[in-house]
Chain A
Amino acid sequence: MTTYILRRLLFAIPVLIGASFLVFVSIRFVPGDPAVAIAGELATPELREQVRKDLGLDEPMLVQYAIYLQRAVQGDMGQSVRTRQQVLDEILLRLPKTIQLASLSLILSAAIGIPIGVISATRANSWVDAVSMIFALLGVSMPIFWLGLMLMIFFSVILPSWLGMTQPVLPPTGSGTWKHLVMPVIALAANSMAIQARMTRACMLEVLRADYIRTARAKGLVEWKVIYKHALRNALVPIVTIIGLQFGTLLGGAVITETVFAWPGIGRLLIDSISYRDYPVVQGTVLVITFGFVLVNLVVDVMYAYLDPRIRYD
């Protein structure tokens, strides 16, 4: 097991180096002078000259990358063009907000998506199944940001008018209280919920056809025991993988959700930075989100091997 984890860790390193190289190179594709891109369009000639010297922009590309990587590993991702703050400080300030949003969405989506999938599979081809799967398909097809806007209309216009209130039931934007969390979490969770419901149904259907399920039923086991103790436990392995992978997708989706609800996480930081052409922050946020994504995938892989004894570790 330890060797397997170590191997997976070692395998993640070249991927991370490649990803950081891609992010590093990307800024070189900004039209014009990279020194301008990094120091900002309003920077003085002296500042640009200093940036050029600091980052070794006269050196060959690989040397520049080595400098960049060395600094990034030490937590120095450069300075924000907009605020002149350290990029890492700006990110660390907002990261907890994004993690909060993504984790709550993950919990909500699993708590609803998996039971829906189980119910659908056990009553395959019934009307319950049909209705759930239609909703799941709608959930997969619905744009996150549009669902966010619809929730805003519902909680700020429709529901207050039903209840005879003059104020929105939930605050449409910002953060601070649990009320601020409700809409962004639902909006972000909907898509994953739908995917998990569909996956759970498919996995359960597969497992329910297995011989040992027939055996369990034949020996007279009560149906809920067959489903929860025998079928679901075996179907859980791929489901857990999907949940884990969803966390990465949620990190990406957070970029959009945070913009809709003005949620002060790193996704919003990314979009704001793009409009200010604040490239050091753009690079930093993309790098941090991607590292998080790779890390989560790694944990999922390891967990998968742990959950499924058929996977060999050597």
Chain B
Amino acid sequence: MSMSGNTFEPIVELMEETAPPTSGVVMVLKRLMRSPGSMMGLIIVLAFLFISVAADYIAPHDYDAANFEMRRAAPSAEYWLGTDELGRDLFSRLLQGARYSLLVGVISVGIGLSVGIPLGLISGYFGGVADMVIMRLMDIMLAFPSILLAILFVAILGPSLENAMIAIGVVSIPIYARLVRSSTLTVKEELFIEASRAMGANHFQIIFVHIFPNTLAPIVVQSTLQIAVAIQAAAALGFLGLGAPPDVPEWGNMLQKGRTYIISAPHIVVFPGLAIMLVVLGFNLLGDGLRDALDPRIAR
């Protein structure tokens, strides 16, 4: 049965007049595209995602194949960015390394989100003793410089990429908990929360169906920026020898190995650092752009 009968026309017209012209996502994207910085961030992040997925297919060499005759070779037509201390192609290893950075970013932010959000929601919604206990715990974690706490955790758990991801994720929990708590405190006073309570919604429904979606904007912004922090922290841990095992082409690792040859073969340390900087820059630009695009106060 066709719905395009005459009966519906007035309603459709009315809807077209009153409904917002575009959906939220499209609007945010449109706002993002107006800022060259955010667009650059978006492009860098998309390229980084593509490389992480397609590393095996676009790499010119096997990232693990050693060519001992070409050890520490300078960039050339065959090895675009030169070779490392074992004669492995640096460019292919960098592409492979993108995967580890993406993994670290996603998993550690995932850990921070999945623990921090519920803590923040509970703390902000219920208040009282729960709020006090949770927030004092978060204060204690924030009493440490974050890289120091991550180093402590990895030192105790033992150096590995998994433990580095866990450590970085755990350290970010208080950031999310505080952020979500403050949004929750604002949202819970809104009229529609009172309305849904009056209609018989229980705490669980109110928290997850009504409050949580309204705290999403700052979470999205923070997570984007936090991926940048996580990638930098993981590289730092790798550089300190507290991350992935030595043979893994993680960017911080590569810098640590290349350090020995800094005078004779500087390219081994130049490029992994540039890669880290570029990706971190991309997420920072995108995060800054998202903050502006999602901010309802900035009318355009």
Q: Which residues of A contact B (CB under 8 A)?
A: 14-16, 18-19, 22-23, 26-27, 29-31, 137-138, 140-146, 149-150, 152-153, 156-157, 248-249, 251-253, 255-256, 259, 270-271, 274-275, 282, 286, 289-290, 293-294
Q: Are A294 and B143 in contact (CB under 8 A)?
A: yes
Contact status of A138 and B277, CB under 8 A, knowing A15-B139, A259-B240: yes
Q: Are B284 and A141 in contact (CB under 8 A)?
A: yes
Residues 141-170 (chain B) with a chain A CB within 8 angstroms: 141, 143-148, 151-153, 155-158
Q: Are A293 and B143 in contact (CB under 8 A)?
A: yes
Q: Are B145 and A15 in contact (CB under 8 A)?
A: no
- 3 residue pairs, one from A and one from B, having the closest CB atoms: A252-B145, A146-B273, A18-B140
User: Is B100 an interface residue when CB atoms closer than 8 A count as contact?
Assistant: no
The residues of B that contact A294 with a CB separation of less than 8 Å are: 143
User: Interface on chain B toward A: helix, strand, loop, or mixed SS?
Assistant: helix
Docked complex Cα distance between A143 and B238 (Å) = 12
The residues of A that contact B136 with a CB separation of less than 8 Å are: 14-15, 18
A-B residue pairs in contact (CB < 8 Å), sample of 25: A18-B136, A18-B140, A26-B153, A26-B156, A30-B156, A137-B285, A140-B284, A141-B228, A142-B280, A143-B273, A146-B269, A149-B255, A149-B273, A153-B269, A252-B145, A252-B146, A255-B148, A255-B151, A256-B239, A274-B151, A286-B152, A290-B143, A293-B143, A293-B145, A294-B143
Stretch at the interface among B13-21, B91-99, B115-123, B259-267: B259-267
Q: Nearest Cβ in chain B — how far from A258, in angstroms?
A: 11
Flag B125-144 by CB within 8 Å of A: 1 or 0 each: 00000000000110111011
Contact status of A256 and B240, CB under 8 A, knowing A18-B140, A141-B277, A248-B145: yes
Q: Which residues of B contact A (CB under 8 A)?
A: 136-137, 139-141, 143-148, 151-153, 155-158, 228, 232, 235-236, 239-242, 252, 255, 259, 262-263, 266, 269-270, 272-273, 276-278, 280-281, 284-285
Q: Are B284 and A29 in contact (CB under 8 A)?
A: no
Contact status of A252 and B148, CB under 8 A, knowing A18-B143, A146-B255, A157-B266: yes
Q: Which residue of A lies closest to B282 (CB)?
A: A141
The residues of B that contact A27 with a CB separation of less than 8 Å are: 156
Q: Which residue of B lies closest to A154 (CB)?
A: B266
The residues of B that contact A252 with a CB separation of less than 8 Å are: 145-148
The residues of A that contact B263 with a CB separation of less than 8 Å are: 153, 156-157
Interface centre among B143, B147, B270, B284 (most CB of A within 10 A): B143
Docked complex Cα distance between A264 and B32 (Å) = 46
Docked complex Cα distance between A244 and B148 (Å) = 18
The residues of B that contact A286 with a CB separation of less than 8 Å are: 144, 148, 151-152
Q: Which residue of A lies closest to B256 (CB)?
A: A145
The residues of B that contact A249 with a CB separation of less than 8 Å are: 145
Interface centre among A138, A140, A143, A255 (most CB of B within 10 A): A143
Docked complex Cα distance between A275 and B262 (Å) = 23
Q: Are A149 and B144 in contact (CB under 8 A)?
A: no
Interface centre among B148, B240, B252, B273 (most CB of A within 10 A): B148
The residues of B that contact A274 with a CB separation of less than 8 Å are: 151, 155, 242
Docked complex Cα distance between A85 and B146 (Å) = 28
Q: Are A143 and B266 in contact (CB under 8 A)?
A: no
Q: Which residue of A lies closest to B251 (CB)?
A: A143
Docked complex Cα distance between A256 and B252 (Å) = 12
The residues of A that contact B280 with a CB separation of less than 8 Å are: 141-143
Q: Are A141 and B151 in contact (CB under 8 A)?
A: no
The residues of B that contact A15 with a CB separation of less than 8 Å are: 136, 139-140, 143
Q: Are A137 and B145 in contact (CB under 8 A)?
A: no
The residues of A that contact B148 with a CB separation of less than 8 Å are: 251-252, 255, 286, 289-290
Q: Are A290 and B262 in contact (CB under 8 A)?
A: no
Docked complex Cα distance between A274 and B273 (Å) = 24
The residues of A that contact B158 with a CB separation of less than 8 Å are: 31
Q: Are B140 and A152 in contact (CB under 8 A)?
A: no
Docked complex Cα distance between A233 and B266 (Å) = 45
* Partner pick for A153 among B139, B144, B262, CB 8 A cutoff: B262
Q: Nearest Cβ in chain A — how far from B138, in angstroms?
A: 10
Q: Which residue of B lies closest to A275 (CB)?
A: B241
